[in-house]
Structure 1
Amino acid sequence: MAHMSDVRNIAAQGRYELAIDGQVAIAVYERRDGALVFTHTEVPQTLEGTGVGSRLVKAALADAREQGMKVVPICQFIASYIERHSEEQDLLALDAPG
Protein backbone atom coordinates (compact mmCIF):
# COMPACT_ATOMS: atom_id res chain seq x y z
CA MET A 1 0.00 0.00 0.00
CA ALA A 2 1.34 3.42 -0.92
CA HIS A 3 2.09 6.12 1.65
CA MET A 4 1.72 9.87 1.27
CA SER A 5 5.49 10.12 0.85
CA ASP A 6 5.11 8.02 -2.32
CA VAL A 7 3.43 10.95 -4.10
CA ARG A 8 5.87 13.01 -6.13
CA ASN A 9 5.45 16.51 -7.48
CA ILE A 10 6.90 16.54 -10.99
CA ALA A 11 6.88 20.33 -11.29
CA ALA A 12 8.51 20.37 -14.74
CA GLN A 13 5.51 18.39 -16.05
CA GLY A 14 2.93 20.13 -13.86
CA ARG A 15 1.68 16.99 -12.17
CA TYR A 16 1.67 14.90 -9.05
CA GLU A 17 2.28 11.18 -9.47
CA LEU A 18 1.60 8.11 -7.37
CA ALA A 19 3.12 4.90 -8.76
CA ILE A 20 1.71 1.57 -7.59
CA ASP A 21 2.56 -1.82 -9.05
CA GLY A 22 4.06 -0.27 -12.17
CA GLN A 23 1.03 1.94 -12.82
CA VAL A 24 0.85 5.69 -12.29
CA ALA A 25 -2.03 7.83 -11.06
CA ILE A 26 -1.67 11.54 -11.86
CA ALA A 27 -3.12 14.90 -10.86
CA VAL A 28 -2.33 17.56 -13.47
CA TYR A 29 -2.04 21.21 -12.53
CA GLU A 30 -0.98 24.63 -13.78
CA ARG A 31 0.56 27.33 -11.60
CA ARG A 32 -1.35 30.60 -11.95
CA ASP A 33 -1.18 33.69 -9.76
CA GLY A 34 -0.20 31.94 -6.52
CA ALA A 35 -2.55 29.03 -7.06
CA LEU A 36 -2.40 25.48 -8.31
CA VAL A 37 -5.16 25.03 -10.88
CA PHE A 38 -5.95 21.30 -10.98
CA THR A 39 -7.23 20.41 -14.42
CA HIS A 40 -7.25 16.63 -14.56
CA THR A 41 -6.88 13.53 -12.40
CA GLU A 42 -6.33 10.08 -13.83
CA VAL A 43 -6.21 6.73 -12.05
CA PRO A 44 -5.46 3.53 -13.99
CA GLN A 45 -8.61 1.46 -14.36
CA THR A 46 -7.19 -1.47 -12.39
CA LEU A 47 -6.61 0.85 -9.40
CA GLU A 48 -10.00 2.57 -9.46
CA GLY A 49 -12.01 2.18 -6.27
CA THR A 50 -8.96 1.40 -4.14
CA GLY A 51 -8.47 4.89 -2.66
CA VAL A 52 -5.45 5.67 -4.84
CA GLY A 53 -7.04 8.84 -6.23
CA SER A 54 -7.91 10.10 -2.76
CA ARG A 55 -4.40 9.44 -1.47
CA LEU A 56 -2.96 11.26 -4.46
CA VAL A 57 -5.20 14.28 -3.97
CA LYS A 58 -4.64 14.39 -0.20
CA ALA A 59 -0.87 14.50 -0.71
CA ALA A 60 -1.13 17.08 -3.52
CA LEU A 61 -3.25 19.34 -1.31
CA ALA A 62 -0.84 18.90 1.60
CA ASP A 63 1.99 19.96 -0.70
CA ALA A 64 0.03 22.98 -1.91
CA ARG A 65 -0.59 23.96 1.72
CA GLU A 66 3.11 23.55 2.55
CA GLN A 67 4.01 25.82 -0.39
CA GLY A 68 1.48 28.44 0.72
CA MET A 69 -0.50 27.99 -2.48
CA LYS A 70 -4.24 28.22 -2.99
CA VAL A 71 -6.11 25.68 -5.10
CA VAL A 72 -8.54 25.98 -8.01
CA PRO A 73 -10.18 22.58 -8.61
CA ILE A 74 -11.33 22.59 -12.23
CA CYS A 75 -11.05 18.79 -12.12
CA GLN A 76 -14.32 17.37 -10.79
CA PHE A 77 -12.57 14.61 -8.81
CA ILE A 78 -10.51 17.14 -6.84
CA ALA A 79 -13.49 19.47 -6.43
CA SER A 80 -15.53 16.59 -4.98
CA TYR A 81 -12.69 15.58 -2.67
CA ILE A 82 -12.42 19.12 -1.27
CA GLU A 83 -16.19 19.33 -0.89
CA ARG A 84 -16.18 16.11 1.19
CA HIS A 85 -13.20 17.20 3.32
CA SER A 86 -14.00 20.46 5.08
CA GLU A 87 -10.48 20.65 6.52
CA GLU A 88 -9.20 21.30 2.97
CA GLN A 89 -11.67 24.03 2.02
CA ASP A 90 -9.43 26.84 3.28
CA LEU A 91 -7.14 26.04 0.34
CA LEU A 92 -9.74 27.17 -2.19
CA ALA A 93 -8.82 30.36 -4.03
CA LEU A 94 -11.70 32.77 -3.48
CA ASP A 95 -10.67 34.86 -6.46
CA ALA A 96 -9.91 31.95 -8.76
CA PRO A 97 -7.34 32.77 -11.41
CA GLY A 98 -7.94 31.66 -14.96
Structure 2
Amino acid sequence: MNFLVEENPAKHRFEILVDDALAGFSAYLPRGEVLVFTHTEVDDRYQGQGVGAALVRGMLDQIRERGGRVVPRCPFVAAFIERHPEYADLVVDAP
Protein backbone atom coordinates (compact mmCIF):
# COMPACT_ATOMS: atom_id res chain seq x y z
CA MET A 1 0.00 0.00 0.00
CA ASN A 2 1.22 3.47 -0.89
CA PHE A 3 0.14 6.25 1.49
CA LEU A 4 -0.01 9.94 0.60
CA VAL A 5 -1.11 12.53 3.17
CA GLU A 6 -2.24 15.88 1.78
CA GLU A 7 -3.91 18.91 3.27
CA ASN A 8 -7.20 19.98 1.71
CA PRO A 9 -7.54 23.55 3.04
CA ALA A 10 -10.83 24.16 1.20
CA LYS A 11 -12.41 21.37 3.28
CA HIS A 12 -10.37 22.11 6.45
CA ARG A 13 -8.94 18.63 6.64
CA PHE A 14 -5.97 16.41 5.95
CA GLU A 15 -6.67 13.45 3.68
CA ILE A 16 -4.88 10.16 3.19
CA LEU A 17 -4.82 8.47 -0.17
CA VAL A 18 -4.06 4.76 -0.41
CA ASP A 19 -3.04 3.76 -3.91
CA ASP A 20 -4.65 7.01 -5.19
CA ALA A 21 -8.01 6.35 -3.46
CA LEU A 22 -9.30 8.52 -0.59
CA ALA A 23 -9.06 6.31 2.50
CA GLY A 24 -9.64 8.75 5.33
CA PHE A 25 -9.42 12.26 6.68
CA SER A 26 -8.91 14.31 9.82
CA ALA A 27 -10.99 17.49 10.03
CA TYR A 28 -9.85 20.67 11.75
CA LEU A 29 -10.91 24.18 12.63
CA PRO A 30 -8.19 26.69 11.68
CA ARG A 31 -7.22 29.19 14.37
CA GLY A 32 -4.25 31.02 12.85
CA GLU A 33 -1.19 28.79 13.15
CA VAL A 34 -3.18 26.45 15.42
CA LEU A 35 -5.35 23.67 14.01
CA VAL A 36 -8.07 22.29 16.27
CA PHE A 37 -8.63 18.66 15.22
CA THR A 38 -12.24 17.62 15.74
CA HIS A 39 -12.81 14.33 13.90
CA THR A 40 -10.87 11.58 12.16
CA GLU A 41 -12.43 8.97 9.92
CA VAL A 42 -11.00 5.99 8.02
CA ASP A 43 -13.00 4.11 5.41
CA ASP A 44 -14.12 0.67 6.61
CA ARG A 45 -12.07 -1.01 3.84
CA TYR A 46 -8.88 0.30 5.44
CA GLN A 47 -9.63 -0.29 9.13
CA GLY A 48 -6.90 -2.09 11.07
CA GLN A 49 -4.22 -1.53 8.43
CA GLY A 50 -2.39 1.42 9.98
CA VAL A 51 -4.05 4.00 7.73
CA GLY A 52 -5.27 6.17 10.61
CA ALA A 53 -1.85 6.21 12.24
CA ALA A 54 -0.19 7.04 8.91
CA LEU A 55 -2.66 9.90 8.43
CA VAL A 56 -2.01 11.44 11.84
CA ARG A 57 1.76 10.96 11.62
CA GLY A 58 1.85 12.53 8.15
CA MET A 59 -0.26 15.54 9.08
CA LEU A 60 1.64 16.18 12.33
CA ASP A 61 4.94 16.04 10.44
CA GLN A 62 3.62 18.61 7.94
CA ILE A 63 2.33 20.86 10.72
CA ARG A 64 5.70 20.68 12.48
CA GLU A 65 7.56 21.57 9.27
CA ARG A 66 5.58 24.81 8.92
CA GLY A 67 5.81 25.73 12.61
CA GLY A 68 2.16 25.10 13.43
CA ARG A 69 0.53 23.76 16.57
CA VAL A 70 -2.49 21.55 17.30
CA VAL A 71 -5.34 21.14 19.73
CA PRO A 72 -6.28 17.43 19.62
CA ARG A 73 -10.00 17.46 20.45
CA CYS A 74 -10.45 14.37 18.28
CA PRO A 75 -9.97 11.32 20.54
CA PHE A 76 -8.04 9.44 17.84
CA VAL A 77 -5.53 12.28 17.35
CA ALA A 78 -5.21 12.76 21.13
CA ALA A 79 -4.55 9.05 21.68
CA PHE A 80 -1.97 8.97 18.88
CA ILE A 81 -0.07 11.88 20.42
CA GLU A 82 -0.25 10.23 23.85
CA ARG A 83 1.29 7.03 22.40
CA HIS A 84 3.91 9.04 20.46
CA PRO A 85 5.31 11.66 22.87
CA GLU A 86 7.68 12.95 20.18
CA TYR A 87 4.67 14.95 18.94
CA ALA A 88 3.65 16.36 22.36
CA ASP A 89 5.50 19.62 21.69
CA LEU A 90 2.94 20.45 18.99
CA VAL A 91 0.04 20.49 21.46
CA VAL A 92 -1.26 23.78 22.84
CA ASP A 93 -4.33 24.80 24.82
CA ALA A 94 -7.34 25.83 22.77
CA PRO A 95 -6.94 29.38 21.44
TM value normalised by structure 1 = 0.88
Equivalent residue, structure 2, for 1:51: 50
Aligned equivalents of 2:34, 2:86: Cα separation in 1: 18
Equivalent residue, structure 1, for 2:18: 20
1:34 to 2:44 alignment: no
State the identity as a percent: 45
**1:12: Cα distance to partner?**
1.3
Structure 1 letter corresponding to 2:11:
Q
Which stretches of structure 1, 4 residues or longer, exceed 3 Å deviation after superposition?
none
Which structure: greater strand fraction? Answer: 2
Aligned equivalents of 1:23, 1:13: Cα separation in 2: 14
Gaps of at least 5 residues in structure 2 are: none
TM value normalised by structure 2 = 0.91
Equivalent residue, structure 2, for 1:62: 61
**1:66: Cα distance to partner?**
1.1
Alpha-carbon RMSD across the aligned residues, in angstroms, is: 1.3
**1:2: Cα distance to partner?**
2.1
